[in-house]
Structure 1
Amino acid sequence: MDKLIYAVYFILPVLLLFGAKVYGRKEWNDEFLSLEQSKALQGFLAVCIMLHHVGQKTCASWINPPTRIQKGLGFFVPLGFMFVAVFFFFNGYGVYKSFHSKPNYLKGFFGRRILPVILALYSTTFIYFAVRLIVGQKMKGNDVLLYLTSLKLCNPYTWYVIVLPFFYAFFYLCFRFIKKDGIAVAVTTALVVAYILFGTTINHNDLWIRGEWWYNCVILFPVGILFAKFEKALVAFFKKTYFVVMPVTVLAVYPVYLWSRAMCNIYGYYGENWGAPDTILRRRISVCAESAICIVFVLAILLLGMKVKIGNKFLKFMGSITLEFYLIHGIFVELCAYTFDGGVKSPFRIKNLLLYVAVVYVLGIPSALILKKIHSLILHKEKKVQAKAA
């Protein structure tokens, strides 16, 4: 029965490619960067991230005792940061394109871009907090405060929605107060790089920037901005050189990934564990390697997208609830695991991996829809208040 989990490796390609259109030699998918295509791709990747999280609870090498390790989803365990890199790319690409195509885009930027992300963070924080109490986690007063403020992640999968508002704020400040577009792009990029460099100075901990996953793929945010800025020239170049650049890039993904793994094994992020005098340098070498594979991976996806247009009802649906599903499915990952985040024994452990995945997905979908509805009601009410104030 455990081997049934390998069915996901056949199901995923079907979910992604069902209804896809492949373009001929002299034809192009000119919508490969459209909102519809990017949402569809992110909806698919949300499912991959779910498998990544289940894999971390069942297949990861750090699981103790090792006898609990189950084979099946090991492929997804180390790839989470690469999946999230795609999200950061389209975050950066989207804000830059919107800034240049929508009049007065920065007016109301907080309400459109930042507030929904913050709302998603704290709504799921409160839900997770209630679940932690229900499963019997013991908390001190300080823990309660840290959890409810999200300084300590009550929802262990929210680092992305903590980091993203800061990047949006970087973008807003730069493009609000710097009139030259090129300089605004450069300063936004510099601020994200500064965040990465700052992250490498922090040892692993229980609060913000608690590990390398907080910064090892975020370079794709400014890469997305840069791609949008030079999109016309880049797309023209890729079309002209496609049958050389595409196969080289796609074939490079695996060796570059192996190289990044090797660099992390040689240098690594955990130098503080053995008192390495060059811990920060080690982290910076490692993050450069992982940033490189993220860039190659995203570029490969974009190049393939120039010839393959994805789209079906499943992808459209998942694309409409990506953020909510990303944030809420982890509750069921934790409830059905061996232990809930924090060490309390999970009340509904599911040993069969395929059933585990199915339960997380089936329960995650209606939860995401309810969460999206709640967010929509709150944000709609906020817009009404703002309109009256104006």
Structure 2
Amino acid sequence: MGKQLIYSVYFILPVLLLWGAKPAKKGEWNDGLSLEQTKAFQGFLTICIMLHHIGQKTCASWLFPKSRIIPGLEFFVPIGYILVSFFLFFNGYGAYKSFHTKENYLNGFVKKRVLPVVLALYSTTVIFFIARLLVGEKMDVPGALLYLSSIKLCNPNTWYVIVLPFFYLAFYFSFMFIKKDGFAVFSTTAFVVLYMLLGTRIDHNDYLIRGEWWWNCVHMFPIGIIFAKYENKIIPHLKKYYWVYAIAAVLALYPLYLYSCFAQDFFSYYGENFFAPDKVMRRRLTLLSQVLVTTDFVFAALLLGMKVKIGNRFLKFMGTITLEFYLIHGLFVELCDHTFDGGVKSPFPIRNVFLYVLVVFAFGVPSAILLKKLHGLILGTGKRKAKEEILKKAS
């Protein structure tokens, strides 16, 4: 019976998402692009990403020996890149909207947008480095330096916070030095596309740009920018033909996902393993299938958000710690796994998957809160927010 409890997540998740949801009345619209709604949905997706990482440790097809496989979270194993695509869309969307609505937005852009992400990367890298030493991983000086520099990932979930600062910097330099808005958008988009083309040329490895998960959803960053640029034209059009687009987007999602699975099997990201002379082309054809499914996923989420306002206290809270929880929960995933990131034996292996999920969440949330407070102290954001609140009350 205990082993079957894990299937309750498929009931719990819809309840978490829809608790407190408010459908819009006929002829009325919800702002599906509002910061409040998108943060709430990101909080929900962060929980799904946690389940994705635990699923990879408990029921992924590549686990060995096969006796390690415990069913329950198979649904989440292959969809991590789809979940992260929503975050990248709003990274791009938010940067463009802020540039056009906030005065002198680019002044201090690096400090406000780039530095917090870099700090999150290296603070969790140090935490994982200490954890690796404590669980008994042996490393020489070059190995330690590779870990601490994040050239080799000490925290295995940090690819996102490694590539995001480069996309932000591409945005910053494009919009700082290119006066024509369309050319600045093109420049940022070109940077991300070139990164994807570079990624498809690199074989799977132990260092930077390790595999397809480093680049198979990053196209959503420029798509978010382009959407923001033409939002005033896109949204009225979507409202006019809403049910056509909504039904089409939802119905297309599963077939597009199946096609992406077919493309991975037929073309393969792993052409180097069977000495394929056209391995780069194979990767790009597979990538195209995932571009389609991620774009449709975000499009469907936005369309549904136009008619249903989601949000409750739990999602609102999770939306405030998404980055920190994303980065720190993996520590407890590793500590409770069979081995710590494929190395030494983990000290607290848990075979009951439902208990595994509860432990990771129970330790991940307070750790994320502490991590956020630490980052706030280092960056001084806590004092700045307090000053803003005082000024608001005074006015």
Alignment TM class, shorter chain as reference: over 0.9
Partner of 2:71: 71
Partner of 1:252: 252
Amino acid at match of 1:213: W
For the 8 Å contact 2:338–2:346, the answer to whether it is kept is: yes
| Residue 243 of structure 1, CA deviation | 1.1
Please say if 1:143 is aligned against 2:143: yes
Counterpart secondary structure, 2:4: helix
Structure 1 segments (4+ residues) deviating >6 Å: 381-384
For the 8 Å contact 2:89–2:222, the answer to whether it is kept is: yes
- C-alpha RMSD of the superposition: 1.1
For the 8 Å contact 1:124–1:155, the answer to whether it is kept is: yes
Amino acid at match of 2:217: C
Alignment of 1:165-244 (within 5 A): 165-244=165-244
**Structure 1: distance between partners of 2:97 and 2:186:** 16
Counterpart secondary structure, 1:78: coil
**Structure 2: distance between partners of 1:178 and 1:381:** 30
Q: TM-score, normalised by structure 2?
A: 0.96
Deviations 1:138-194 (CA, angstroms, capped at 9, x unpaired) = 112211010000000000000000010000001001000100001111111111000
Partner of 2:4: 3
Partner of 1:277: 277
Counterpart secondary structure, 2:319: helix
For the 8 Å contact 2:376–2:382, the answer to whether it is kept is: no
| Residue 23 of structure 1, CA deviation | 1.2
**Structure 1: distance between partners of 2:292 and 2:32:** 22
**Structure 1: distance between partners of 2:25 and 2:383:** 46
Counterpart secondary structure, 2:275: coil
Contiguous gaps of at least 5 residues in structure 2: 385-395
Amino acid at match of 2:233: A
For the 8 Å contact 1:137–1:342, the answer to whether it is kept is: no
Contiguous gaps of at least 5 residues in structure 1: 385-390
**Structure 2: distance between partners of 1:269 and 1:261:** 11
Partner of 2:19: 18
Counterpart secondary structure, 1:320: coil
Partner of 1:35: 35
For the 8 Å contact 2:57–2:337, the answer to whether it is kept is: yes
Partner of 2:393: none
| Residue 65 of structure 1, CA deviation | 0.7
> Using a 3 Å threshold, how does the CA distance of structure 1 residues 382 and 357 change in structure 2: closer, same or farther?
closer
**Structure 1: distance between partners of 2:124 and 2:78:** 25
**Structure 2: distance between partners of 1:381 and 1:18:** 31
**Structure 2: distance between partners of 1:382 and 1:323:** 17
**Structure 2: distance between partners of 1:109 and 1:131:** 33
Deviations 1:224-274 (CA, angstroms, capped at 9, x unpaired) = 001100101111111000111101110100000101111111111100011
Please say if 1:328 is aligned against 2:324: no
| Residue 342 of structure 1, CA deviation | 3.5
| Residue 381 of structure 1, CA deviation | 7.9
Partner of 1:93: 93
Counterpart secondary structure, 1:276: coil
**Structure 2: distance between partners of 1:233 and 1:25:** 22
| Residue 22 of structure 1, CA deviation | 0.5
Counterpart secondary structure, 1:218: coil
**Structure 2: distance between partners of 1:291 and 1:164:** 18
Alignment of 1:81-120 (within 5 A): 81-120=81-120
Amino acid at match of 1:14: V
Amino acid at match of 1:115: L
Counterpart secondary structure, 1:182: helix
Counterpart secondary structure, 1:337: coil
Deviations 1:299-344 (CA, angstroms, capped at 9, x unpaired) = 0000000000001000010000000000000000000011110321
Partner of 1:387: none
Partner of 2:387: none
**Structure 1: distance between partners of 2:26 and 2:334:** 47
Partner of 2:287: 287
Amino acid at match of 2:55: G
For the 8 Å contact 2:37–2:310, the answer to whether it is kept is: yes
Amino acid at match of 2:374: I
Q: TM-score, normalised by structure 1?
A: 0.97
For the 8 Å contact 1:121–1:161, the answer to whether it is kept is: yes
Deviations 1:93-120 (CA, angstroms, capped at 9, x unpaired) = 0000000000110000000000000000
Counterpart secondary structure, 2:380: helix
Partner of 1:359: 359
| Percent of aligned pairs sharing the same letter | 63
Partner of 2:391: none
**Structure 2: distance between partners of 1:2 and 1:77:** 18
Amino acid at match of 2:287: V
| Residue 11 of structure 1, CA deviation | 0.4
Counterpart secondary structure, 2:46: helix
Amino acid at match of 1:161: V
